[in-house]
Amino acid sequence: MVIEEHNDVSVIGHMHSSDEARLITHRLIASFAEMVDSDLSQDTALYDGLLIHIKPLINRLNYQIRIRNPLLEDIKGELQDVWRLTQCAVNRVFSGWGERPVSEDEVGYLTVHFQAAMERQIARKRVLLVCSTGIGTSHLLKSRILRAFPDWTIVGVVSAGSLPSVLTDDIELVVSTINLPAVAMPVVYVTAFFQ
């Protein structure tokens, strides 16, 4: 942001900076979402969190100011996959933008926002249970899954034989107690007595 008297030039400079930050933020989210094959466009917490970081990041790049991220090694170790994807998204967006390279420290901070977004995505799944056992065991499994993941919606409990007829686009995850033939969506296998 330009710090000057409040004249048209400073207002325009501030608007340009804000527009640039918004555009970079949208492109980062789109790039990351494409790599993880997930729609993050409605995650306002992700957008707002990234935007708050991107605005000063642009200034740090322009003025070659480096910051140190004291959590970087923990982030790279604990959030390795998301860190790698974030670094890839950052490289895509900023290399095409003509900005200087973004440091690993900055990427670490951005990674935390993307990790939180991924966890929010997991928290709101529409799930189909596939069981080979009786009704009592199916209800027990359903109860335990909902206790472990309270934000999930169990859309149904079915047998493997009826699976093809009930799969719809609104189901995001299949949780199964038995091996399934190829299914065109993520499948998680658990025991009937999931803990």
Task: Quick: pLDDT tens for 80-121.
Answer: 999 999 999 999 999 876 667 899 999 999 999 999 999 888
Query: What percentage of the chain exceeds 90 in pLDDT?
Result: 43
DSSP three-state, residue 188: strand
pLDDT of residue 21: 95
Domain borders along the chain are 8-122, 124-189
Average pLDDT over residues 20-49: 94
Q: How many CA atoms lie within 13 A of 19 on its CB side?
A: 6
The DSSP string of 23-65 is HHHHHHHHHHHHHHT---TT-HHHHHHHHHHHHHHHHHHHTT-
59-80 confidence digits (pLDDT tens): 999 899 999 999 999 999 999 9
Compute the mean pLDDT over every residue in the chain, rounded to the nearest whole number. 84
122-133 confidence digits (pLDDT tens): 777 889 888 876
Place domain 8-122 in its CATH homologous superfamily: PRD domain (1.10.1790.10)
